[in-house]
Amino acid sequence: MKISAKGEYGLRAMAILALEYHTGPVPLREIAKREEISHQFLEQIFISLRHAGLINSVRGAKGGYTLAKAPAKIKVGDIIRVLEGPIAPVDCVAKNAEAACSRSTFCLTKGIWQRLRDSMTEVLDDITLADVIKKSDSEPGGK
Amino acid sequence: MKISAKGEYGLRAMAILALEYHTGPVPLREIAKREEISHQFLEQIFISLRHAGLINSVRGAKGGYTLAKAPAKIKVGDIIRVLEGPIAPVDCVAKNAEAACSRSTFCLTKGIWQRLRDSMTEVLDDITLADVIKKSDSEPGGK
DNA sequence: TTTAATCCTGAGTAAATTACTCGGCTTTCA
DNA sequence: TGAAAGCCGAGTAATTTACTCAGGATTAAA
C-alpha cells in the first residue's frame, strides 16, 4: 500500500513549482538539488507530467518548468494519477475498469476495495497545490 | 497504490473462514480450490495470520483453520496490517514511525500522506469480517 | 556565432520485490 | 499404519523500481 518514489518525488517537485508560480520557469536541476532527487530521474517524471498537461516547459538557457495552471486548479489526485496510475487498491475497481474479474458478481471483498478507493480519491482530489503550499497540515479551505 | 496478491488472497480466505465460522476447521486446500489460489502460497499467508493470532489451526487429518475470534471482532485493517505492513502511503507517516525523515519539519507533502493514511485506516478498521459476509456492499452497521 | 544552459528522449541495468514452487518434516484421525 | 492435514525454510523466475547513460534539440547571452 505504498506509493512509489516517482509519485513522492513528483508531488514534492510540483509543490516547488507552485511556490515559484509567479517567478518564471524553474530549471529542473534547481528543483532536484533543493529536494535532493536525482535530476535524471526527475527529468523522466517531468516528461510524464508535461505530456499530461500539468506543466509547461521552456527550452534553452534560462528555461525550466512552470505549472500549466494556477496551483488552486491542480489537484493532488491529478498528479498521482499521472505518476501512479488509477487510484485503486486492486485493478478490478479502477474507474476505467478493464479488469472485470470473473468472480466480481459474488466477490465478498470487492465492496471493501470500492470503499477504500472512494475514500482515497476523496482525500487526494480535495487537496490542491494551493492547499499544499498554504499551511503545513495541507488542510483545504472548505474543511 | 496497489495491495499485493498476499493481502488480496488473505482477505478472501479470511472471508471464507468467517462464512464457515460455525462448521469446524476448514482445510486450506478447500479454500485454495474455492478461491482459485495456489495452496502453497496460501499456506505461507496462513502461517503469518496464525502467528499474528487471527486464526487457529488444527493439525492432522480432519484438521484445518478457524478464525481465532468471532467475525465481528476481526477488522479488515487487522488482516491488512499483518499481510501488507503498516497502513501508510509512505514510510515516514507509519504509526510506529521509525522512518523520521530529515526534512519532516518543513516537508510540504507530509500532511497529505497523513490525511490519506487516516482515511484509509478509518475505512479498513471500520469494516469487520461480519460486515464482509453480511452484504455484497460491505457496509458496516453504523453507516 | 559560438557557448553554455536547458529541455527531450530512448535504451540499458542493478537491486529489490513479488508471487510463487520445492521438499521434507510433524501431527492426528480412522 | 497410512492418509490427510498443517508447518516451515529455502529457492527461483518474472516483474517492477529506481535509477543511469548517452546523446540530440533548442535557446539566451556573450
Measured CA to C1', what is the nucleotide nearest B60? Answer: C28
Q: What SS3 state is found at B56?
A: strand
pLDDT at position A115 over 90: yes
The Cα–Cα gap between A88 and A124 comes to 12
Contact B120 A1 (CB under 8 A): yes
Q: What SS3 state is found at B61?
A: coil
- Per-residue pLDDT reduced to its tens digit, A77-94: 999 999 999 999 999 999
- Per-residue pLDDT reduced to its tens digit, B85-98: 999 999 999 987 66
**Which residues are B58's β-sheet partners?**
B64
Q: What is the pTM of this model?
A: 0.93
pLDDT of residue A98: 63
The Cα–Cα gap between B17 and A127 comes to 39
Residue type, A31: I
The Cα–Cα gap between B78 and A1 comes to 14
Q: Which grid cell is A2?
A: 505504498
Among A36, A93, A103, A109, most B C-beta atoms within 10 A, so best to mutate, is: A109
B85-CA/C18-C1' distance, Å: 15
List residues in chain A touching B: CB distance below 8 A. Answer: 1-3, 7-8, 11-12, 15, 76, 80, 84-85, 87-91, 107-112, 114-116, 119-120, 122-124, 127, 132-133, 135-139
- Per-residue pLDDT reduced to its tens digit, B47-94: 999 999 999 999 999 999 999 999 999 999 999 999 999 999 999 999
- Per-residue pLDDT reduced to its tens digit, A50-62: 999 999 999 999 9
The Cα–Cα gap between B17 and B132 comes to 11
A129-CA/D15-C1' distance, Å: 33
Nearest to A39 by CA among A29, A48, A49: A29
Phi then psi for residue A52, to 5 deg, are -80, -5
For chain A, list the domains and their CATH numbers: 5-138 (1.10.10.10)
Closest residue of chain A to B19, computed from CA coordinates: A108
The Cα–Cα gap between B81 and B135 comes to 23
- Per-residue pLDDT reduced to its tens digit, B104-113: 888 999 999 9
Q: Which residues touch B100 (CB under 8 Å, ≥6 apart)? A: B92
Among B109, B122, B133, most A C-beta atoms within 10 A, so best to mutate, is: B109
